[in-house]
């Protein structure tokens, strides 16, 4: 008889944090758990039982919870209002210049210095016959980090018995405003202290990347990946071609079949497959989004320790952030990320976990 699905919670009090953090654990009764945090509506932990019955941790976290006060690496949190980078922390809307809060030189990164990932969210839980869920909610006021409009947001994490963790994002606004949300979780399927992700195998359903300038901001050009280090259309190890790049991967991949038709956003499609040959663990990513940012953990510098006690060094984990085109507010040739009172925001991304037998 299968174990019962469950939802549990615990409190974390840390002097460096403005409030007590609530950690909510979803357990699907089938060896997979996800622990979510009210700080940043984020992923704190994802564990999967291995063949010996040990819970293997698949995401990066800090050894010292006080590091969540600044969360230098954006571990696990919901990112917004606009994910990724906006050039010069500004854009034009209805003929007027909108100035945003800058937090990466002159540019804005991940919604600004006090973006959604730094907020404490409200939550409620839900238990159904075939799934358990936690739904986070928060309000972002008109002018928040420079953005127009009062925006009400919900992020729902749902875990089912089929080892699928889904994230559903929903938002409404009272003014025309840009919105592009994502999760900034760092994955490492090896689940071994000190292991990096260079030996992981990655397949991406993407024939193009966005060309970026030296500040990693898209300039409006799409580049074909065929024959380059960015070609993951046939699965390959992350480390195979990474030496061809200056500092590793930190690029947006435009998903095939999404470039022109992503606005429908109804049915998630397979975007990526990440696997660790050593453990046999595999994670599929399905999404309604136009693309994903593949970031290979280039700025992890070893100055902080992870939850396993080991330094968080370069390539210790990777992000596969599903969202709309970065810097779209300044590039009219990109699909619009504007939402309005008549057009609310919806996004769905699914992480599906399983294990392949190692021969």
SS (H, E, C) the chain: CCCCCEEEEEEECCCCCCCCEEEEEEECCCCEEEEEECECCEEEEEEEECCCCCEEECECCECCHHHHHCCCCCCCCEECCECCEEHHHEEEECCEEEECCCCECCEEECCCCCCHHHCECEEEEEECCCEEEEEEEEEECCCHHHCCCCEEEEEEEEEECCCEEEEEEEEEECCCEECECEECCCECCCCCCCCCCCCCEEEECEEEEEEECCCCCEEEEEEECCCCCCCCCCCEECCCCHHHCCCCCEEEEEECCCCCCHHHCCCCEEEEEEEECCCCEEEEEEECCCEEEEECCCCCCCCCEECCCCECCCCCCEEEEEECCCCHHHCCCCCCCEEECCECEEEEEEEEEEECCCC
Determine whether the annotation assigns residue 84 to a binding site: yes
Instruction: Respond yes or no: is residue 110 known to be catalytic.
Output: no
Instruction: Respond yes or no: is residue 321 known to be catalytic.
Output: yes
Determine whether the annotation assigns residue 281 to a binding site: no
Which of 110, 184, 200, 251 is labelled catalytic? 184
Which of 154, 164, 289, 321 is labelled catalytic? 321
Determine whether the annotation assigns residue 27 to a binding site: no
Determine whether the annotation assigns residue 138 to a binding site: no
Determine whether the annotation assigns residue 124 to a binding site: no
Determine whether the annotation assigns residue 257 to a binding site: no
Binding residues for beta-D-galactose: 84-85, 184-186, 250
Catalytic residues: 184, 321
Binding residues: 84-85, 184-186, 250
């Amino acid at each position: 008889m299968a174990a019962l699905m469950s939802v549990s919670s615990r409190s974390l009090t840390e002097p460096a944090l403005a409030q007590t953090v609530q950690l909510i654990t979803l357990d699907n009764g089938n060896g997979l758990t996800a622990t979510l945090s009210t700080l940043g509506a984020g992923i704190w932990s994802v564990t999967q039982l291995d063949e010996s019955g040990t819970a293997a941790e698949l995401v990066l976290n800090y050894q010292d919870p006080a590091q969540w006060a600044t969360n230098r690496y954006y571990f696990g949190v919901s990112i917004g209002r606009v994910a990724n980078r906006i050039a010069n922390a500004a854009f034009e809307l209805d003929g007027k210049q909108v100035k945003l809060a800058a937090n990466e030189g002159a540019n804005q990164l991940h919604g600004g210095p006090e973006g959604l990932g730094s907020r404490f969210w409200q939550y409620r839980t839900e238990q159904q016959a075939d799934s358990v869920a936690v739904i986070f909610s928060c309000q972002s006021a008109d002018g928040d980090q420079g953005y127009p409009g009062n925006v009400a947001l919900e992020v729902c994490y749902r875990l089912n018995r089929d080892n699928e963790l889904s994230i559903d994002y929903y938002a409404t606004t009272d003014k025309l405003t840009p919105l592009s949300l994502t999760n900034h979780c760092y994955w490492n399927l090896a689940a071994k202290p000190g292991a990096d992700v260079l030996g992981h195998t990655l397949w991406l359903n993407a024939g193009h990347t966005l060309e970026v300038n030296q500040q990693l901001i898209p300039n409006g050009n799409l580049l074909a990946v065929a024959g380059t280090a960015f070609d993951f259309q046939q699965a390959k190890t992350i480390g195979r071609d990474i030496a061809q790049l200056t500092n590793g991967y930190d690029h947006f991949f435009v998903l095939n079949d999404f470039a022109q038709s992503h606005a429908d956003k109804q049915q998630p499609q397979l975007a990526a497959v990440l696997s660790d040959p050593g453990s046999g663990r595999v994670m599929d990513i399905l999404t309604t989004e136009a693309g994903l940012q593949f970031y290979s953990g280039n700025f992890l510098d070893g100055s902080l320790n992870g939850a396993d006690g080991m330094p968080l060094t370069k390539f210790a984990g990777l992000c596969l952030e599903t969202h709309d085109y970065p810097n779209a507010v300044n590039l009219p040739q990109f699909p619009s990320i504007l939402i309005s009172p008549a057009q609310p925001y919806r996004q769905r991304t699914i992480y599906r976990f399983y294990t392949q037998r190692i021969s």
